[in-house]
Structure 1
Amino acid sequence: MGNFDNQYITDRLQRNFGTDVKILGESFGLLSVGTAKERIIDLLRFLKEDDELSFSYLTDITAVHYPELEDPFCIVYHLHNLVQNIRIRIKVFVGGEPPSIPTATTLWKGANWMERETYDFFGIDFQGHPDLRRILNMDDLDVFPMRKEYPLEDPNRVDKKDFYFGR
């Protein structure tokens, strides 16, 4: 295992998961892969427990809302191999109301708070989570603030009208 790089990781993933894992890119040297929500726990377990890959550190779980897509929510996992000092990004696109995905707390206890934060801001239901409730916002808040469900600006604002700027 002398040459531990993105190509080596890609080859290992393709060998073990075939078409269930898609290579999304390598922006700034960070390998990004995508999979289906049905395979996410298998993929995370493989990346963590494989003796050669050993991505044992879960850096972050978050989400992105793309309202124009068929599956508008992208759940993003960042893993780190501390020995080789290499990172990987895993993306899973989900839809539905509420959008849901299996919990990663079965693999990392630290996923608990990351999933609660993602639930709090995006409304992602992490199935099997031991205590999925709001962590930063008020309990009675009935919206998820990071969803792109509202216009960016109030169309009735008069200080943004062109005639104020000589146009």
Structure 2
Amino acid sequence: MSGEGLSKTYVEEVMEGLPGHAVQGRACFRDQWALDVRSEDLLEVMAELRDRWGFRYLIDVTAVDFYPQKPRFQVVYHLWCHAHQALLRVKTWVETDTPSVPSVTGLWTTADWHERECYDLFGIHFTGHPNLRRILLPEAWEGHPLRKDYPTEGPDWDLD
């Protein structure tokens, strides 16, 4: 069995072992697995993925803006299990008005920077984050430039 088949089998086993109430869906595209998790169950699922299933490496946290769809934002986590060489994406949807999900900084310290970047560029709040503030843009910057409704010309600069 190739390494690719092993990781696919392992990820399928992992998804079957997660709490059924928390997982809303799963998909595989080009041998890359993703699962949709309810935002209120995110911490429980992430802790189980880390502690029980060995996904100890948080590669990235990002978001996708599906404007004008509601819910508008999908927060995406990329996890890696070294023991099984398996990649898993965990996705959760957040509502439009003050989008918010629980912070995973208590599970992976590297989430600190990833969540700050997501907050800075998309305006998604991470509840329980120890220092949620802009990381790339100045504190006085208005708006979140990766939102689809952000002006393509940037903010209305008054340069005179």
Q: TM-score, normalised by structure 1?
A: 0.82
Aligned residue among 9, 12, 19 for 1:10: 12
What is the number of residues matched between the two proteins?
149
SS of structure 2 residue aligned to 1:5: helix
Partners of 1:44 and 1:130 in 2: how far apart?
18
CA contact (8 A) 1:116 1:132 kept: yes
Paired-residue identity, %? 34
Q: Corresponding residue for 2:85?
A: 85
SS of structure 1 residue aligned to 2:105: coil
Q: Corresponding residue for 1:141?
A: 141
Q: Corresponding residue for 1:32?
A: 34
CA contact (8 A) 1:10 1:23 kept: no
Deviant stretches of 4+, over 2 Å = 3-16, 150-153
Query: Structure 2, unaligned stretches of length 5 or more?
Result: 154-160
Structure 1 window deviating more from structure 2 (116-125 vs 13-22): it is: 13-22
CA contact (8 A) 1:74 1:93 kept: yes
CA contact (8 A) 1:63 1:118 kept: yes
CA contact (8 A) 1:78 1:89 kept: yes
Q: Corresponding residue for 1:22?
A: 24
Partners of 2:73 and 2:104 in 1: how far apart?
17
1:41 aligns with 2:34: no
Letter of the 1:13 counterpart: M
Which whole-Å deviations, capped at 9, do the CAs of 1:27-53 have from their partners, x for residues lacking one?
A: 121101001110111111111000xx2
Structure number with bigger Rg = 1
CA contact (8 A) 2:34 2:90 kept: yes
More strand by share: 2
Cα distance change, pair 115–151 in 1 and its aligned pair in 2 (3 A) = closer
1:74 aligns with 2:71: no
